[in-house]
Amino acid sequence: MKPLTINFRSKAAQTIVDEQVQNSLEHVYTGFYQGRLNAAADTPNWEELRTKGKAIKDHTIAHLDHYLDMLSGKVEENGGTVFFADNADEARQYITKLAKDRDIATVIKAKSMVSEEMSLAENMNDAGFEAVETDLGEYIIQLAGETPYHLIAPAVHKSRKDVADLLDKDFTDGDRVPDATELTMLAREQLRDVFARADMSVTGVNFAVAESGSIVLVTNEGNGRMSTSVPRIHVAVMGMEKIVPSIQDLSTMLRILIRSATGQRISTYVTMVNGPKTPDEEEGPDEFHLVIMNNGRHKLLRDPLLRESLNCIRCGACLNACPVYRKVGGHAYGWVYPGPIGAIVTPVITGLKDASDLPAASSLCGACHEACPVKINIPRMLLELRHRTAEGLSDPNERTSKFSERAIWKAWRIGMMGRGRFDWGARIGYLFMRPFSINGWMKKAPPPISGWTLSRDFPLIARESLKSRLNRRHKKDV
């Protein structure tokens, strides 16, 4: 998928004034956010589970090479085929060539963010295959020709009327808009026909188990199960970080993933696949392919300050918790992964230069850190990325801060380094600000700080410091 991170500001501005989308985003907030809080409250050892989940992921990522080696060996031992893809193009070409070689006509796709990185469905359709998204939200998005809005609720911004028009223009009868049940049943019928003729499936992977070569899929709809039951070829695609070492680790990881994603105790379907169908089974894929993709993830891995972002299990809890995401929506972020975690992953993978607005779009309130099931310290990494853009640390040519800005902060730093300087600086500051202030607030500053006051007011520095007032009072008392 081509990154459009450069358009963050204009997309965000568009979304903020779109009343319908604002209403839908409110759904995300109340539904998922409250659901997660309730689920956490109902789980007596919730914090213990989060700590354990973090420890499992920390360990796995620290030994990712070892576990990738183990996983791929086991998948092959189980009769599957493993393909390592350095980037999205390689992964897409492998899958497309496989489909060509096997004479495939129809491909069913279950939800997978990794496949979005390769714009797989779109590309396969262009290549002459019938590639259909089967997650209802993704299906709607595909019909609309858009990209997903949310990690787990891709069509959250579409109204019933939008959906009705997309599914079947003739379905709507006069002014009456069909309800969600009618629309879902219509989609069921349409997708059943597709399932019946599908000969290949592409799914994501929620967890890949290194010791046994198993992959685990979590869905509420059942399209993940259809994908592992109907077609003769199953291709699972995963980012290389999606590993857990042991089967036993799944109980912890599933608990925190599902509760954080939807607030459920468990999703309707959890499917564990350990290779192609067994010889005594009638249905199930004859071929199982696992595509393990890097696509820039090594840049996060080699960076000690950002490595933690690879612990992400893609539950979407940080999106639901984020006051910025809840206003600007998913498309503003311009690539596959929106929200707070996307603001770290996207700039590093697609380039910080065009994506420098993403880490800046945060109030650093810490709600994402609090919500994360594996305790990823997102605000710390957002600050780190801001620091790097401002100072041009990853590429001096990409430095975003102006000379004047740096000079101000330098002066600030010097001023804060001693009591005497502080008092002196505060005095200068007061004298400088007074002509521009009204009722104790500076609302419009002169250049070079005029940019700062465009969206904020600055309180006038007090004429006298607290310390000096206290000193004066103390003298009086004595």
Partner 1 sequence: MTDKVSFIKQVTKALGRSKMIRPTENYATAIFDDRHLASANAVQAVTDADSMSASLIEQMVQSADEAGWKVHRTDNFEESAELIVSICKDHNANSVLRSAHSVLTDIPLDSALTASGAVLEVTEHSSESSIQQIQKSKSAAFRADVGITGVDYAVAETGTVVLHPRAGVSRLLSLAPPTHIAVLRPGDVLASLDELFAIQRDDFLNGELQGSMNLISGPSKTADIEGTTVTGIHGPLEVHLIIIENNKS
Per CB under 8 A, which of residues 232..251 are in contact with partner 1? 240, 244-251
Measuring CA to CA, how many Å separate 418 from each of 412, 415, 424, 472?
11, 7, 10, 21
Q: Does 65 bind partner 1 (CB under 8 A)?
A: yes
**156 contributes a contact to partner 1 by CB under 8 A:** yes
Q: State the Cα–Cα distance between residues 17 and 202, nearest whole angstrom.
A: 37
| Closest distance to partner 1 from the beta carbon of 460 (Å) | 46
Provide the minimum distance between the beta carbon of 184 and partner 1 in the complex, in angstroms, as a whole number: 4
Over the window 199 to 218, marking each residue x when it contacts partner 1 by CB under 8 A and - when it does not, the resulting string is -----------xxx-x----
84 binds partner 1 (CB under 8 A): yes
97 binds partner 1 (CB under 8 A): no
294 binding partner 1? (CB under 8 A): yes
104: left (phi over 0), alpha (psi -120 to 50) or beta: beta
Give the shortest CB-148-to-partner 1 separation in angstroms. Answer: 11
Single out the residue of 220, 230, 225 nearest to residue 195, CA to CA. Answer: 230
Q: Give the one residue of 99, 133, 154, 389 binding partner 1; rule: CB under 8 A.
A: 154
Q: What is the CB neighbour count within 10 angstroms for residue 360?
A: 17
**151 is an interface residue for partner 1 by CB under 8 A:** no
| Pairing outcome for strands 130-133 and 106-109 | parallel
Among the listed residues 95, 132, 155, 236, the single contact to partner 1 using CB under 8 A: 155
Q: Which stretch binds partner 1 (CB under 8 A): 271-279, 351-359, 416-424, 467-475?
A: 271-279
What's the min distance (Å) between Cβ of 346 and partner 1? 19
Per-residue x/- marks for partner 1, 106-145, CB under 8 A? ----------------------------xxxx--x-----
**Least distance between partner 1 and beta carbon 388 (Å):** 18
User: In DSSP terms, which residues pair with 173 in a beta bridge?
Assistant: 176
Adjacent-strand bridge partners of 288: 234
Q: How far is CA 11 from CA 6, 18, 116, 400, in A?
A: 10, 11, 20, 21
- β-pairing, 130-133 vs 437-438, is unpaired
Give the CA distances from residue 32 to residues 135, 264, 315, in Å, rounded to whole numbers and listed in that order: 18, 9, 10
Nearest to 242 by CA among 223, 268, 214: 214
Residue 266 interacts with partner 1 (CB under 8 A): yes or no: yes
- Dist CA 319 CA 333 (whole Å): 11
**Of residues 17, 41, 196, 466, which one binds partner 1 by CB under 8 A?**
196
Residue 290 within binding range of partner 1, rule CB under 8 A: no
Q: Does 427 bind partner 1 (CB under 8 A)?
A: no
Q: Which residues pair with 233 in a beta bridge?
A: 200, 287
Decide if residue 36 touches partner 1 (CB under 8 A): no
Residue 477's φ and ψ, nearest 5 degrees, are -60, -35
Q: Choose the binding region for partner 1 from 262-270, 359-367, 413-421, 452-460 (rule: CB under 8 A).
A: 262-270
Out of 22, 90, 171, 426, the residue judged to bind partner 1 by CB under 8 A: 90
The single residue among 271, 400, 453, 465 that binds partner 1, judged by CB under 8 A, is 271
Nearer to partner 1, 116 or 249 (CB): 249
Residue 216's SS3 state is strand
Q: Where are the beta strands (DSSP E) in 191-232?
A: 200-203, 207-209, 214-219
Tell me how crowded residue 331 is: count the other CB atoms within 10 A of its CB: 20
Q: Which stretch binds partner 1 (CB under 8 A): 189-197, 359-367, 371-379, 408-416?
A: 189-197
Q: Which is nearer to partner 1, 194 or 433 (CB)?
A: 194
Residue 315 near partner 1 by CB under 8 A? no
Of 129, 127, 120, nearest to 138 by C-alpha is 120
CA distances (Å), 269 to each of 128, 217, 238, 264, 365, in order? Answer: 32, 8, 19, 12, 35
- For residues 170 and 280, which CB has a smaller minimum distance to partner 1 in the complex? 280
Q: Which stretch binds partner 1 (CB under 8 A): 65-73, 112-120, 352-360, 418-426?
A: 65-73
Distance between CA atoms of residues 76 and 289, nearest Å = 9
Please report how close the Cβ of residue 265 comes to partner 1 at its closest, in angstroms: 5
Binds partner 1 (CB under 8 A): choice among 127, 185, 364, 407: 185
Show the binding pattern over residues 354-393: x = contacts partner 1 (CB under 8 A), - = does not. Answer: ----------------------------------------
Q: Categorise residue 295: left if φ over 0, alpha if ψ from -120 to 50, beta otherwise.
A: left
Listing DSSP states for 265-276 in one string gives: SS-SEEEEE-SS
Least CB distance from residue 114 to partner 1, whole Å?
Answer: 15
